[in-house]
Amino acid sequence: MRLTRADVIHLLLLWLGGIDLRLTMLAVPPLIPLIHRDLHLDEKAVGALVSLPVLLLAAAAVPGSLLIAKLGIRSALAIGLGAVAVFSALRGAGSSPTVLFASSFLMGAGVAVSQPAFPALVREWFPRRIAVATAVFSNGILIGETVPNVFTTPFGVLPAVHGDWRWALASWSLLVAATAIAMAVLAPSGRTPGSVPARWWPSWLEGQALRIGAVMGMASAVYFGANAYIPDFLDQSGRHELISPTLAVLNGAQLLTAPAVAVWDRLLTGRAGFIGSGALMAISQLGLVFTPGVGVVVWALLLGFSTALAFVVVLTLPPRLAAPGDVHRMSAAIFTLQYAMAFVLPLVAGALWDATGLAVLAFVPGIAGAGLMAWLALPLRLPD
């Protein structure tokens, strides 16, 4: 496959955009013990802190689709990513829960506005190379989920800012700001008459969008719930030193999906990816809860891989199933349901922990969700 200069620029922007969609959101879990103690948050508040941007991914997916229809894909991305950069940096201002949650809310809105644009960009820029472009974009997302967990503690950003979690959160905004500027200034227009979609309301009933959104919602709930509760779970079980490596492995294991798909590409085109992921997610969470010592790291690896595999499969579906010009609409429908479920389940998990004082119960909703995901995937009809 020969790439032109414009293709290389487009792929780079897709990759950086994928990183930006998760970088600031996943900067929080490694800092949860510090934020927890400094702001005196309970477990429900911790769950809400991690899940609030996820809720916005659901609530603002439809406005994001409207923004794309009215302004065009790249203009919408410049606005959305700009909001992510600004409000992510403001999360630690004032050292109060109110500022933290309000800024997280607005940051999540920026991510939500931006996310439906990327599958549409894939279709617009690479109509004959959807799999390649999606792989580049999804690799960016997975790197964005991995980098803050690896380079926050015990080395990297947090030591560089002298242990201040506020500046640690703000520092990740720099890359997002640079990408927003690049989208607005450097991206080739690549626009042909009629390329800007006119319709914006999500296609709820087209292409199995509701079932796909529900399946992916379970995987996302497991992933965000694990990131929210593993730190305090390990801290309370006397394994504080394992928090950073466990989160790093949980998120870094997602990068293993690329070689797995290269070996068996059927994972991206059939139901095997969904069903196998659901089973592995349930087993991994049980292992996390009941395995003592460093064994938790092994289960985190399997959990990270299985949640990422389901996510990558979903990313390929809107460009493959939707009609030209409607990719953003199908994406908005899937993302709305997906992230609504990803918000609710971690909150239920935190409420169970608070009500009973048993950390193990925080993982019960995720285990049940993994089983439900596999069951919901059985009737899916996916193109080859």
Query: By three-state DSSP, how is residue 155 classified?
Result: coil
Give how many domains the chain has, as a whole number: 1
Assigned domain for 216 exists: yes
| Sequential DSSP letters for 78-90 | HHHHHHHHHHHHT
* CA pair distance 328, 121, nearest whole angstrom: 9
Taking residue 293's Cβ as centre, other Cβ atoms within 10 Å add up to 9
Residue 35 predicted with pLDDT over 70? yes
* CA pair distance 191, 350, nearest whole angstrom: 46
Assigned domain for 73 exists: yes
Query: Which candidate, 287, 264, 71, places its Cα nearest to that of 183?
Result: 71
Assigned domain for 284 exists: yes
* CA pair distance 219, 199, nearest whole angstrom: 29
The CATH number that applies at residue 283 is 1.20.1250.20
Question: Cis peptide before 63, with omega less than 30 degrees from 0?
Answer: no
Assigned domain for 211 exists: yes
Assigned domain for 222 exists: yes
Split at pLDDT 50, 70, 90, the class of 368 is very high
Degrees (nearest 5) of the Cα angle 304, 307, 308?
80
Q: In this predicted structure, what is the pLDDT of residue 197?
A: 47
Residue 28 predicted with pLDDT over 60? yes
Question: Cis peptide before 154, with omega less than 30 degrees from 0?
Answer: yes
Q: In this predicted structure, what is the pLDDT of residue 287?
A: 93
Residue 46 near residue 32 (C-beta atoms within 8 A): yes
Range of the domain at 121: 5-189+202-377
Residue 89 near residue 170 (C-beta atoms within 8 A): yes
DSSP for residue 151: S
Give the residue with greater pLDDT, 14 vs 131.
14
For 100, residues 6+ apart whose C-beta sits below 8 A from its C-beta are: 35, 39, 49, 91, 92
- State pLDDT tens for residues 164-209: 888 888 898 999 999 899 888 765 444 444 444 456 676 676 657 8
pTM: 0.74
- State pLDDT tens for residues 55-87: 777 877 778 778 877 777 778 888 899 999 999
Assigned domain for 384 exists: no
At residue 192, φ and ψ (nearest 5 deg) are -115, 160
Q: In this predicted structure, what is the pLDDT of residue 123?
A: 79
Assigned domain for 194 exists: no
* CA pair distance 301, 149, nearest whole angstrom: 13
Mean pLDDT, the chain, rounded, equals 82
The owner of tokens 């406005």 is 63
Give the residue with greater pLDDT, 327 vs 253.
253
At residue 281, φ and ψ (nearest 5 deg) are -65, -45
Assigned domain for 22 exists: yes
Residue 57 near residue 108 (C-beta atoms within 8 A): yes
Q: Enter the tokens of residue 155.
A: 């080395």
Q: In this predicted structure, what is the pLDDT of residue 346?
A: 84
Least confident of 148-152, 175-179, 233-237, 285-289: 148-152
Query: By three-state DSSP, how is residue 172 classified?
Result: coil
